[in-house]
């Protein structure tokens, strides 16, 4: 099964993708994390992507598509994949269809994280991340056990560079301009969009997501059995 997580910055995609991956065994492709890893390694893609991330702008499509192509190659044969933060504009959505086609796959559901914009800025201002293992925290809603220390690997937590008030504004604008049309594309043209109310607690959001994935997987299995 192929799942796409779509939603504005801070809507909880990264938090939920972890659970989809750990609890349901999906291979996770989180574009923001992959780009940040490439920047830390200072590899060819990282060098080209860096300034775009710092400014809260989209990285050029050809770089992102190359990353997806490489990830699909790595994943080959494992089956279930969840995409977080990709596709993020119409060109990426259309090119994605082609890449999946070549791999003999198709998108099964697009989970759209619906949340009032007012909540997002608050969540992002309180977010802290582990620079080593990428675990995400929130000073208000998901604090670490010891102040500013990652529960999992003991590293000192940091604020993401693009979580400053100014860059968050720019990311919201980019979302409205570039990514909101992708919502419409999956809703009206592909009929794949499922709205998830992501202003509830993490467990409430997870329950809703799990219900939709299980429903879809049950339908697919019955279709296969029925021929």
Instruction: For the CB of residue 79, give the shortest distance to ligand AP5 in the complex, in Å.
Output: 22
Say what the alpha-carbon torsion angle 131, 2, 94, 61 is, to the nearest 10 degrees: 10
Residue 59 engages ligand AP5 in binding (rule: CB under 6 A): yes
Burial (0-12, 13-18, 19+ Cβ within 10 Å), 93: buried
7 binds Mg ion (CB under 5 A): no
Among 112, 123, 150, 213, binds ligand AP5 (CB under 6 A): 123
Give the number of other Cβ atoms within 10 Å of residue 167's Cβ: 19
Binding string to Mg ion for residues 15 to 54, with x set by CB under 5 A, is what? -----------------x----------------------
Distance CA 153, CA 157 (A): 10
Complex with Mg ion: residue 14 or 56, whichever CB lies closer: 14
Q: Regarding beta strands 127-129 and 136-138, do their DSSP bridges make them parallel or antiparallel, or are they unpaired?
A: antiparallel
User: Binding string, 150-169, against ligand AP5, x = CB under 6 A?
Assistant: ------------x-------
Q: Quick check: 32 binds ligand AP5 (CB under 6 A)?
A: yes
Residue 37 Cβ, how far from ligand AP5 at the closest point, in Å? 11
Residue in 12, 14, 56, 87 binding Mg ion, rule: CB under 5 A: 14
- Please state the length of the chain: 227
CA–CA gap between residue 58 and residue 76 (Å, rounded): 27
């Amino acid at each position: 099964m192929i799942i796409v997580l779509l939603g504005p910055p801070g809507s909880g995609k990264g938090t939920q993708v972890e659970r989809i991956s750990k609890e349901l065994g999906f291979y996770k492709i989180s574009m923001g994390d992959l780009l940040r890893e490439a920047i830390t390694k200072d590899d060819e893609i990282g060098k080209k992507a860096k300034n775009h991330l710092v400014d809260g702008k989209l990285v050029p499509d050809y770089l992102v598509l190359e990353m997806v192509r490489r990830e699909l190659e790595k994943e080959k044969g494992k089956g279930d994949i969840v995409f977080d933060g990709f596709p993020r504009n119409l060109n990426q959505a259309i090119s994605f269809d082609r890449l999946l086609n070549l791999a003999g796959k198709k998108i099964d559901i697009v989970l759209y994280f619906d949340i009032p914009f007012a909540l997002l800025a608050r969540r992002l201002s309180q977010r802290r991340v582990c620079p080593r293992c990428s675990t995400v925290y929130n000073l208000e809603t998901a604090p670490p056990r010891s102040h500013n220390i990652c529960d999992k690997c003991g590293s000192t937590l940091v604020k993401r560079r693009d979580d400053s008030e100014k860059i968050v504004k720019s990311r919201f604008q980019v979302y409205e301009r570039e990514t909101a049309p992708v919502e419409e594309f999956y809703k009206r043209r592909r009929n794949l969009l499922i709205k998830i109310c992501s202003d509830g607690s993490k467990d409430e959001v997870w329950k809703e997501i799990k219900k939709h994935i299980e429903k879809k997987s049950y339908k697919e299995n019955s279709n296969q059995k029925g021929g």
